[in-house]
Amino acid sequence: MKKIFFRNSIIMLMAMLLAFPLQSSQAHAAEPIPEYMYLPFDIMNHWAFDELDNFVNADLLRGYVDEYGDVYVKPNQSISRAEFVSILVRALGLTSDQAGTSFTDVQQGKWHYEPIRIASSLGIVNGTSESTFGPNQPVKRGEIAALIVRAFSSTVQFTGEMKSFTDVPDYYAAPSIMKASQVGIVHGATATTFKPFANATRAEAVVMLQRALDLQSSDLPEDSTLTKVIADWSANNTKAINDNAFDQLSIMDKQYATGYHLAYSATANNELMEIVKEGATFTAKINSEQKLTVQHKTDRFAVVESTGGIMQITTKLHGSEVDAKQSMDGHYLLKKMPDNSWKIYMYAMTEQQ
């Protein structure tokens, strides 16, 4: 799932804001979701940008906030065992009501307690000894291969030609490294070496996980399930605008959106309400219906393309009237939620020539 288009706002709200941009600087004051958390400074031009950006947008990877409020993913920093297990559990939506292994260095109340409990109860992760987990120890490249193969064993078909790595000894992770190489989840550090005992970076961990997620095909959603989410979200937003029920927009966003899409929607809704307070009224009209086509889907993620749709927004304010037409062409990225519903976590508008 590679995002090859630029970020943009929700079509309808963007058209309104283009018609009458805000003069006030208070539009973001009531923002309930921190949009800035989805805009890390240090992944642009990174070799793993697509995967890192996708994980950030989908709430699978979280950044670090410095004293100035800037967010950094630190893609070249090593990732700990606790961090990787947490991302793995989050990405797969894993749950378990079993106790799991009791580790002396994993206490209840710690941020990593639940994901480690879940992963250990499902047999995905073991400790560094019989009684310890080593949550702060850097996870090795070979360890990641083993964890991924265990976690995806029922949802990915590990078939194909194995790669031959000269530096992978006969040890517990070797079979997993070979399996993961069959389907391209892991690549070599060079043409003949894997570096199984090297500390994995955050970027490497995310890329390997993304490759595995892209291969899941045991429980694919129906195309209609995915397109209905987008169609319903668009239709309900249009109705709320025409009914002047702007307070319903945030409620519907929480029903249909998550991740970056939800955070951006919150910002756009705040800006919209500022214009409404100034006396603006709106009318939304679909001039051309969008065609929704599922381009890619796995058990937990999907990409849906929208083409041909044109939205017209008529905005009236202080005796002036502006018509704004906006193409609805773009790509919607969706993820499966813990309750098995699907939500939009990213909308990327196609850049107009």
Q: Which residues pair with 291 in a beta bridge?
A: 307
Q: Which residues pair with 286 in a beta bridge?
A: 311
Token pair 């006969």: residue: 170
Q: Is 131 helix (H, G, I), strand (E, B) or coil?
A: coil
CB 145 within 8 Å of CB 205: no
Among 112, 46, 48, which residue's Cα sits nearest to residue 85?
Answer: 112
- Say how far apart CA 232 and CA 186 lie, in whole Å: 39
CA count, 13 A, side-chain hemisphere, 19: 28
What is the per-residue pLDDT for 353? 56
What is the per-residue pLDDT for 266? 87
CB 155 within 8 Å of CB 299: yes
What is the per-residue pLDDT for 131? 92
What is the per-residue pLDDT for 258? 94
- Say how far apart CA 346 and CA 3 lie, in whole Å: 9
CB 23 within 8 Å of CB 309: no
- Cα distances (angstroms) measured from residue 223 to each of 2, 61, 118, 227, 339: 19, 27, 31, 6, 18
Tell me the pairing of strands 310-317 and 342-349: unpaired
Threshold 0.85, pTM exceeds: yes
What is the per-residue pLDDT for 13? 53
Q: Which residues lie below 8 Å from residue 215, measured CB to CB, with a gap of 6+?
A: 152, 155, 156, 157, 183, 185, 298
- Say how far apart CA 61 and CA 75 lie, in whole Å: 11
For the chain, the maximum distance between any two Cα atoms, rounded to a whole number of angstroms, is 78
- Say how far apart CA 82 and CA 118 lie, in whole Å: 12
Helix/strand/coil percent split, the chain, to 5: 35, 20, 45
- Say how far apart CA 175 and CA 337 lie, in whole Å: 32
CB 92 within 8 Å of CB 115: no
Residues of the chain with pLDDT under 70: 1-33, 352-353
CB 180 within 8 Å of CB 145: yes
Q: Is 74 helix (H, G, I), strand (E, B) or coil?
A: coil
